Amino acid sequence: MRLHRGLLAGLVVVTLLLATVGWVGFRARQTRGYLLSAAELARDLGGQVVGGDADRARRTLAALQEQAAAARAATEGPSWSLGRRVPVAGDDLTAVRQIAVAVDELARRAFPRLLGVELTTLLPRDGRLDLSALRSAERELAGADAVVRENVTRLHGVSTGGLAADVRSALTGLRGEVDRLAGVTGAASRGAALLPRLLGADEARDYLLVSQNLAELRATGGMFGAYTVIRAEGGRVRIVKQGTAAQLGPFTPPLPGISPEMRGLYTDLPGIYPADVNLTPHFPTAAALYRDMVRRRTGTTVDGVLAIDPVALSYLLAATGPVQVPGFGQLTGGTVVRELLADSYLRLDLNEQDDFFARSAAAIFDAFLTRAVEPRGLLSAFNRSIAERRILLWSAHPEEQREIGESRIAGTLPEREDRPTVGVFLNDGSGAKLGYYLKPNASLTVGGCRPDGRRELRLTVSLRSSVPRSGLTSSVLGLARAGDPYVVRTLVNVFSPAAGTVVRVRLDGAETPVGSGTERSRRVVIANVEVAPGRTRILEADLLTAPTEIGEAELWLTPTATPWTTHIQSASRCDQ
């Protein structure tokens, strides 16, 4: 009888367990549906916010909150809690629960704050930004950023070991999205807090607005050409004066500020020539050198340096509409890159070119400050420019520079990093203006895990030349250091991940001689790549990371006139 009762009790327990598992399975399917719907709504919401469609965005947010709340509710209760204790499947249910909680927290506590920020308050009107409105926006952005960072911590606290493939994919995908969101909210929050000071809320500020000439490549983009001194006071911004790098002239002896490791890579050139301050990709070093050169030659001491390139100007012109450049005609978003980097060298002499660059920058700057422009277009232009590192900012005030931190707009080459980053930085070696005709591509493949904890990386860079075979002027062909004036000679600087190394370099499949050194805790190799018209050269490098378990990596590339085509192939974590 006791045996029968024991069997009966066991049968009841098994039946209840099976019923619980079945119920949890049903709820898991429900949760999956809610989360898929929430993901689609979140994508729609992002587009509507950037597009300035506030009414649709509010409706979408309400629907998103409903789906997110349903997903969270579906992962609550005793049956789900019991299911989380089941071997193997319990880890999956725990991960799904954390995903649902994170999505609900973002929908309820972060997105409403972001939606509450009036985008027009972040843009100038009649040459002035509203500082009080900026401060109000900063409070909302800071609150949203705090919630986003809470959920970054939540999601990264979930172990991926042993998860089912689809759950692991959903978790890592959401981690990536929330990490990117944290980058945006963090930058927006810091920017809104910093902007009033930068814009002269307390005292007038002067800045150098520097044009990076992508026709002659440097690591941060292009050599520093025309510059404009702009003054910000009480939120109002105006142009004070303009000049060119050529007017500053060489400095002998070289200016201080060149570290021994930089000297080993670039000699003293960054401290001698204004056009060479950014042979280094670390923008704060280049900006500080250029500021010192302007101070010594003109007596003007500025509070910071803001750099921009013609491609970023094209993005802005697409939003503001065409501008008239006095004495030179009209510029549009579709023509400004070609006009500034190619056509001007064919029809203007050196002095006229400098004047054209300075007047163009002034006309576009004036349009940005004074025209009534749809927020969507301008914010999209700035977002894309900053993502591609075409707009860079450095403050001469140390406390403000710390707040700018290591965001993309800072152009700071970090000495420590959470995710391995490989740098590919281009410096012109021709002494010419042929950078406009260079078409770059790069791919990065994350390879195997080594016993010492490092990961292998394979980098492939291709450079194609669209230089015509004849018809260019001497101002384009320049010094022709490659011998043939129509050959593009580029010094390709490959930077390892922080605390990593470069193992091997090949050009078109064959070993090639390289220079080498170190900058900011990264091993650097420099390869001379010469590309004839219509030809393509392929540079390959094998690299090692510092010890890491993650299977993701990033590329940091010199912005060029033709944006890079890139591909990154990730791999599984080493602990899986």
| Cα–Cα distances in angstroms (integers) from residue 130 to residues 123, 133, 186, 199, 382, in the given order | 8, 5, 21, 10, 18
Most confident of 91-95, 197-201, 218-222, 368-372: 218-222
Q: Which residues on adjacent β-strands are paired with residue 212?
A: 224
| Local confidence band at 15 (pLDDT 50, 70, 90 cut-offs) | very low
Closest alpha carbon to 217 in 8, 511, 522, 425: 425
Q: Is residue 34 scored above 80 in pLDDT? A: no
CA distance 261 to 506: 24
Please list, in sequence order, all residues whose beta carbon lies within 8 angstroms of the beta carbon of residue 461, skipping any fewer than 6 positions away: 424, 440, 441, 442, 492, 494, 538, 539, 540, 541
**Cβ 206 vs Cβ 302: under 8 Å:** yes
pLDDT at 3 over 70: no
- pLDDT-derived band of residue 11, with 50, 70 and 90 as boundaries? very low
pLDDT for the residue numbered 87: 60
Measured distance CA(495)–CA(405) in Å, rounded: 21
Q: Is the pLDDT of residue 121 over 80?
A: no
Identify the band that residue 429 occupies on the pLDDT scale cut at 50, 70 and 90.
Answer: very high
* pLDDT for 111 beyond 90: no
- pLDDT exceeds cutoff 80 at 434: yes
CB 531 within 8 A of CB 438: yes
**What CATH number should be reported for the domain whose range is 205-398?**
3.40.630
Lowest-pLDDT choice from 69-78, 114-123, 147-156, 500-509: 114-123
Tell whether the model's pLDDT for residue 2 goes beyond 50: no
Q: What is the pLDDT of residue 169?
A: 81
**pLDDT(411) > 80:** yes
Q: What is the pLDDT of residues 341-391, one digit of tens each?
A: 999 999 888 778 888 888 898 889 889 888 888 777 887 888 889 989 999
Pairing of strands 304-308, 391-395: antiparallel
Q: Which residues of 13-35 are buried (b: 16+ CB within 10 A; e: fewer)?
A: eeeeeeebeeebeebbeebbebb
Q: How many CA atoms lie within 13 A of 10 on its CB side?
A: 6
Domain boundaries, the chain: 21-198, 205-398, 415-569
Q: What is the pLDDT of residues 498-538, one digit of tens each?
A: 999 999 999 999 999 999 999 999 999 999 999 999 999 99
Phi, psi of 299 (to 5 degrees): 80, 0
pLDDT band for position 1 (cuts 50, 70, 90)? very low
Q: Say what percent of the chain tops pLDDT 70.
A: 91
The mean per-residue pLDDT over the stretch 419-440 comes to: 97
Query: Residue 118: what pLDDT?
Result: 74
pTM of the prediction? 0.84
pLDDT value of position 84: 66
pLDDT: which is higher, 127 or 252:
252
Confidence class of residue 97 from pLDDT cuts 50, 70 and 90?
confident
Q: How confident is the model at residue 49 (pLDDT cuts 50, 70, 90)?
A: low
- Model confidence band, residue 4 (pLDDT cutoffs 50, 70, 90): very low
DSSP characters over 498-526: TT-EEEEEEETTEE---EEEEETTEEEEE
The tens digit of pLDDT for each residue in 124-175 reads 877 788 888 888 888 888 998 999 899 899 888 888 777 778 778 878 877 8
Placement of tokens 């990961």 in the chain: 455
Tens digit of each residue's pLDDT (9 = 90 or more) over 454-501:
999 999 999 999 999 999 999 999 999 999 999 999 999 999 999 999
User: What's the CATH class of domain 415-569?
Assistant: mainly beta
Strand order in the sheet with 304-308: 236-244, 221-233, 205-218, 304-308, 391-395
Please give the single-letter amino acid code of residue 547: P
- pLDDT in the model for residue 426: 98
The residues with which 422 forms a beta bridge, in sequence order, are: 555
The SS3 call for residue 273 is coil
Over residues 223-245, mean pLDDT: 91
What is the pLDDT at residue 185? 80
Average pLDDT, the chain: 87
Instruction: Report CA 152 to chain centroid distance, whole Å.
Output: 19
**Which tens digit of pLDDT belongs to each residue from 273-305?**
999 999 999 999 999 999 999 999 999 999 999
The predicted pLDDT at position 472 comes to: 95
